[in-house]
Amino acid sequence: MISKAATAPLACCLLLEACADVQSTPPMAALLAEASLQNSTGAPVGKASIEQRGAELALVVNVKGLSPGPHGIHLHTTGKCEAPGFTTAGGHLNPTSHQHGTMNPAGPHLGDLPNIVVTSDGRGSLRHSIAGSGQDTLANLFDADGTALVVHAGPDDYATDPSGNSGGRIACGVLTRMR
Ligand SMILES: [Cu+2]
Ligand SMILES: [Zn+2]
């Protein structure tokens, strides 16, 4: 027969374990911002969003109707997308005055992202954690002139300043803050 004294620590232990499980469940993702991407003729080619999960800010991108292969994609300094060239979006978001690219010893820009890979059906997706602490990054993303997400014709080499030699701008979307 098991005494009460022996079962009590067991029950206590189970209870603690249950609590630990609850605490280790990731917090709910909150939708912070959205962007609708358009190509050089103004046609819709996908969507992007920024989700906050605890201290993590994640950029989620889904594109369609683009040419297959890897494409450079970045956060640019100005939330203005004027087709066809999208030069109104400015350069890469770069509040710390670094050079371009994760493989550049003097890089990267805050706005630098891994290439988005488009498959033969013209679709591609990307999920990437944006560097830096949540509050600083939010302040940089949603400054007075906003931020745009820009997709390029070719792949980013992650090293060549100022834009990774990724070619022309083929799609653009303005990030709009939701909350
Ligand atoms: Cu770019
Ligand atoms: Zn860059």
For the chain, the domains span 30-177
CA of 162 to the centre of ligand 1 (A): 9
The strand pairing partners of 148, in sequence order, are: 76, 174
Within the chain, residue ranges assigned H as helices are: 4-24, 134-141
Q: What is the pLDDT of residue 84?
A: 97
**What pLDDT is recorded for position 22?**
54
| Closest ligand (CA of 166) | 1
Kindly identify the ligand whose nearest atom is closest to the C-alpha of 169: 1
What pLDDT does residue 131 have? 75
Three-class SS state of 87: helix
Listed as ranges, residues in the chain with pLDDT below 50 are: 1-16, 18-20
Q: What are phi and psi of 109, to 5 degrees?
A: -75, 150
Give the pLDDT of residue 26. Answer: 61
Pairing of strands 30-39, 176-177: antiparallel
Nearest ligand atom owner, CA of 76: 1
Query: Distance from the CA of 9 to the center of ligand 1, in angstroms?
Result: 59
Which CATH number among 3.30.365.10, 2.60.40.200, 3.40.190.10, 3.40.50.2300 corresponds to the domain 30-177? Answer: 2.60.40.200
Per-residue pLDDT reduced to its tens digit, 115-164: 999 999 999 999 999 876 677 888 999 999 999 999 999 999 999 999 99
Predicted local confidence at residue 14, as pLDDT = 47
